[in-house]
C-alpha cells in the first residue's frame, strides 16, 4: 500500500513536471525570463503594450525609454525581448549558434541550425561580397550602360533646357537604383527603364510613369492595416473566416500588381 502510494505520488509528480503539461510550459516560459526587466508591468503576461506601441507608431520612443531606464535588454512580451547593444547582445544572436524561431527559415538566406547557416552563407557569399562585385565584368558592363546610355542623356537633356530645369534628386536615385539592380539581376535588356521617365512633381498619380505606379502599389502594401497580418495573424485569419477582412482593397490590389510584375520580369529573363 505504501509502495503503491509512492508510485502514485511519483507518477503525479512526473505528470506535473512533464513538458506536455500546459502549467509546466507556462511556468517555464514565465520564469525563464524572470531576471529580464520588463518594459511595462504587463509585458510579463501579455504583448498588448508593445503591440499598441507598434499600432500607434510609437514603438521606437517606447523602446528607447525602456532601454534608458532598464538597460540593454528588456522584456516586451512573455516570450519577446528587445536588445540595444550590438557587441554584447545582437552580435551573439546573429553570429553565434543562438536558437532561431521557425519564421527564420522562410528564405534561402536564413536557417535555424548554425552549421546549415554556415553552408548557406558560404554558398552565396562569393556572389555578393564586395570583392566579387568589384571584379564582376557583368557589373562593370551594367554600370557603363546605365551611366552612358540612360543617366547622362537625361542630365544633358536637362541642361539643354528640354525639361523643366529642375531635378528631384530623391526621385532620380529611385530610378537609378531600380534600373541598376534589375539590370544586374535580370540582364540589361530585361531591366526596368525608369530613368526614361520623369516625375511630374504632382500629388496626383501619373499612371504613365511605371515607377510612380510601382511605388503607389508598394505603399498600399505598407498600409497601416497590414499590422494585423504581421503582428496578429491569428486574429486576422479568424476575422477573415468570419468574412471580415481588416485589410483595405488597395492592399490586395498592390500585392497582386507587384507579384505579377515580378513574375513578368522573371519570365522575361528566363526567355532570353
User: Does 107 lie in the same domain as 85?
Assistant: no
Strand, coil or helix: 150: helix
Number of domains in the chain: 4
Q: Is residue 14 part of a domain?
A: no
User: Does 110 lie in the same domain as 84?
Assistant: no
Closest by CA position to 210, among listed 186, 187, 194: 194
User: Does 173 lie in the same domain as 111?
Assistant: no
Q: What is the DSSP letter of 82?
A: E
User: Phi, psi (5° rounding) for residue 199?
Assistant: -70, 140
Range of the domain at 46: 29-98
Q: Is residue 142 part of a domain?
A: no
E-strand ranges in 29-169 read 73-77, 80-83
- pLDDT of 5 higher than 50: no
User: Does 105 lie in the same domain as 84?
Assistant: no
User: Does 227 lie in the same domain as 177?
Assistant: no
Looking at 86, 108, 135, the residue that finishes a domain is 135
Closest by CA position to 93, among listed 76, 106, 110: 110
Q: Is residue 81 part of a domain?
A: yes
CB proximity list for 227: less than 8 A, separation 6 or greater? 54, 55
Q: Is residue 251 part of a domain?
A: yes
pLDDT of residue 3: 44
Q: How is residue 109 written as a grid cell?
A: 538566406
**Mean pLDDT to the nearest integer, 205-224:** 87
Mean pLDDT is lowest, of 43-52, 82-91, 176-185, for: 82-91
Strand, coil or helix: 230: helix
> pLDDT band at 265, cuts 50/70/90?
very high
- pLDDT of 153 higher than 50: yes
* Comparison of pLDDT for 18 and 221, the residue scoring more: 221
Distance (Å, whole) CA 85 – CA 142: 39
Q: Is residue 13 part of a domain?
A: no
Overall pTM surpassing 0.75 (yes/no): no
User: Does 180 lie in the same domain as 191?
Assistant: yes
- pLDDT of 29 higher than 80: no
Average pLDDT along the chain = 80
**Mean pLDDT to the nearest integer, 65-81:** 91
- pLDDT of 17 higher than 60: no
Q: Is residue 18 part of a domain?
A: no
Dihedral sign from CA coordinates of 184, 146, 143, 181: negative
- pLDDT of 155 higher than 90: no
Q: Is residue 20 part of a domain?
A: no
Q: Is residue 174 part of a domain?
A: yes
Looking at 199, 214, 235, the residue that finishes a domain is 199
User: Does 224 lie in the same domain as 168?
Assistant: no
> pLDDT band at 169, cuts 50/70/90?
confident
User: Does 236 lie in the same domain as 177?
Assistant: no
> DSSP assignment of 110-147, as one string?
--SSHHHHHHHHHHHHHHHSHHHHHT-HHHHHHHHHII
Amino acid at each position: 500500500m505504501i509502495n503503491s502510494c509512492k508510485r502514485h505520488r511519483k507518477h503525479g509528480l512526473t505528470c506535473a513536471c512533464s513538458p506536455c503539461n500546459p502549467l509546466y510550459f507556462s511556468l517555464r516560459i514565465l520564469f525563464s525570463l524572470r531576471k529580464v526587466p520588463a518594459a511595462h508591468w504587463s509585458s510579463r503576461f501579455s504583448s498588448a503594450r508593445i503591440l499598441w506601441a507598434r499600432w500607434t507608431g510609437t514603438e521606437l520612443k517606447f523602446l528607447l525609454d525602456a532601454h534608458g531606464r532598464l538597460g540593454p535588454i528588456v522584456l516586451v512580451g512573455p516570450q519577446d525581448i528587445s536588445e540595444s547593444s550590438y557587441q554584447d547582445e545582437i552580435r551573439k544572436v546573429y553570429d553565434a549558434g543562438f536558437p532561431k524561431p521557425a519564421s527564420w527559415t522562410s528564405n534561402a538566406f536564413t536557417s535555424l541550425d548554425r552549421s546549415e547557416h554556415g553552408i548557406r552563407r558560404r554558398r552565396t557569399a562569393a556572389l555578393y561580397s564586395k570583392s566579387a562585385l568589384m571584379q564582376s565584368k557583368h557589373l562593370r558592363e551594367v554600370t557603363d550602360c546605365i551611366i552612358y546610355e540612360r543617366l547622362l542623356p537625361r542630365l544633358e537633356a536637362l541642361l539643354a533646357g528640354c525639361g523643366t530645369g529642375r531635378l528631384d534628386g530623391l526621385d532620380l536615385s529611385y530610378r537609378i537604383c531600380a534600373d541598376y539592380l534589375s539590370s544586374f539581376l535580370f540582364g540589361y535588356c530585361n531591366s526596368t527603364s525608369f530613368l526614361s521617365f520623369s516625375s511630374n512633381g504632382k500629388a496626383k498619380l501619373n499612371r504613365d510613369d511605371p515607377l510612380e505606379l510601382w511605388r503607389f502599389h508598394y505603399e498600399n502594401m505598407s498600409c497601416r492595416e497590414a499590422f494585423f497580418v504581421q503582428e496578429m495573424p491569428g486574429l486576422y485569419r479568424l476575422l477573415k473566416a468570419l468574412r471580415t477582412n481588416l485589410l483595405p482593397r488597395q492592399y490586395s490590389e498592390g500585392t497582386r500588381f507587384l507579384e505579377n510584375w515580378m513574375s513578368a520580369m522573371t519570365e522575361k529573363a528566363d526567355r532570353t
